[in-house]
């Protein structure tokens, strides 16, 4: 054991007296002492002790019981008191009418005299609330300068918002009667479509009538005139839901050849037409 000498003043003289002091060394810890006890008794600045203390805390936390209840998010296993999320179609706006929906495609021909031109129509947007439809119309072989032309069109669905009378695009009442009368399904309305109280319901009939108006070329939207071709007119359209066929007649007041016929059939798809994450 170490011995330290301490000097104390003497009462009888000026000399100092040395008194030995014995300091005992602390006894060694038992071998069975756990790592957590060692970490508690040791100096915390030692890295090994910090590691032991952390391990002991982790061991204790593993032994504590967990009282937290896992939340079940499955719809079929919810309690009656849980808030129910409405995932019905009531909150979804209907965006299709038969084969008229975004992504739908129709293929066919446009007849002009004895000539036929391949036509493909891609529907891009359908808004039944506003009675609107839009898409692209592609025609092949119409001119030698442009063997393939694509135009963007917007359509009006005949119904409460848009009557059979066009009243624009230089189409007068007799022109409407001539073109709508080309469709056999329109015969019952030929003498009443101009009445003030007449309203056609497109949702409750097999035949959907529309007007398609081409606006510009795609992608060259700045081009307004092409020799041998014109998109200044519009189409009288009749779509039959039961057969998914579209028939139409093109009208342009400066075109000497009226009633250019459009005949299209729907291209069947083998995938979902639209979807939504809920």
Residue 37 has pLDDT above 50, yes or no: no
pLDDT of residue 259: 84
SS3 of 132-200: the string is EEEEEEEEECCCCCCCEEEEEEEEEECCCCCCCCCCCCCCCHHHHHHHHCCCHHHHHHCCCCCCCCCCC
Give the number of other Cβ atoms within 10 Å of residue 136's Cβ: 16
pLDDT of residue 254: 78
Q: Choose the weakest-confidence range: 35-49, 82-96, 108-122, 166-180.
A: 35-49
Angstrom CA distances, 74 to 68, 70, 77, 247, stand at 18, 12, 6, 48
Q: How far apart are CA 218 and CA 136, in angstroms?
A: 8
Task: Pick the closest to residue 139 from 114, 121, 113, 112 (CA basis).
Answer: 121
**What number is the average pLDDT over the span 93-121?**
90
pLDDT of residue 130: 92
**What number is the average pLDDT over the span 166-189?**
94
Higher pLDDT, 89 or 101: 101
Residue 82 has pLDDT above 90, yes or no: no
The answer to whether the beta carbons of residues 142 and 228 sit under 8 Å apart is: yes
Q: How far apart are CA 151 and CA 135, in angstroms?
A: 9
Contacts of 274 (CB under 8 A, 6+ apart): 95, 96, 101, 102, 103
Task: Pick the closest to residue 236 from 266, 204, 260, 265 (CA basis).
Answer: 260
Residue 49 has pLDDT above 70, yes or no: no
What would the pLDDT profile of 137-155 be if each residue is shown by its tens digit? 999 988 777 788 999 999 9
The answer to whether the beta carbons of residues 182 and 214 sit under 8 Å apart is: no
- Environment class of residue 93 by beta-carbon count within 10 Å: exposed (0-12), middle (13-18) or buried (19+)? exposed
Task: Pick the closest to residue 142 from 260, 61, 276 (CA basis).
Answer: 260
DSSP code for 36: H
Q: How far apart are CA 123 and CA 153, in angstroms?
A: 10
pLDDT of residue 202: 93
- pTM of the full predicted structure? 0.65
Give the number of other Cβ atoms within 10 Å of residue 269's Cβ: 11
| Residue position matching structure tokens 């409405």 | 86
Radius of gyration of the chain (CA): 44
């Amino acid at each position: 054991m170490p011995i330290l000498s301490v000097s104390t003043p003497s009462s009888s003289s000026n000399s100092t007296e040395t008194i030995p002091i014995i300091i005992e060394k602390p006894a060694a810890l038992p071998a069975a002492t756990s790592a957590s006890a060692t970490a508690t008794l040791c100096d915390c600045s030692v890295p090994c002790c910090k590691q032991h203390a952390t391990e002991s805390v982790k061991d204790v936390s593993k032994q504590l019981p967990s009282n937290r209840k896992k939340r079940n998010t499955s719809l079929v296993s919810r309690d009656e008191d849980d808030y129910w999320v409405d995932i019905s179609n009531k909150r979804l706006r209907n965006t299709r009418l038969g084969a008229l929906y975004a992504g739908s495609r129709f293929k066919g021909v446009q007849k002009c005299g004895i000539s036929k031109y391949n036509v493909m129509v891609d529907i891009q947007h359908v808004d039944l609330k506003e009675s609107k439809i839009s898409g692209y119309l592609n025609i092949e072989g119409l001119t030698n300068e442009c063997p393939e032309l694509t135009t963007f069109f917007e359509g009006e669905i005949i119904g409460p918002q848009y009557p059979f009378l066009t009243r624009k695009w230089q189409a007068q009442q007799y022109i409407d009667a001539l073109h709508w009368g080309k469709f056999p399904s329109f015969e019952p309305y030929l003498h009443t479509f101009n009445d003030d109280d007449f309203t056609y319901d497109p949702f409750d009939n097999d035949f959907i009538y529309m007007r398609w108006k081409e606006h510009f070329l795609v992608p060259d939207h700045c081009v307004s005139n092409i020799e041998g071709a014109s998109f200044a007119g519009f189409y009288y359209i009749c779509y039959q839901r039961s057969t998914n066929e579209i028939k139409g007649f093109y009208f342009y007041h400066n075109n000497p050849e009226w009633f250019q016929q459009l005949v299209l059939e729907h291209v069947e798809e083998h995938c979902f037409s639209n979807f939504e994450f809920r």
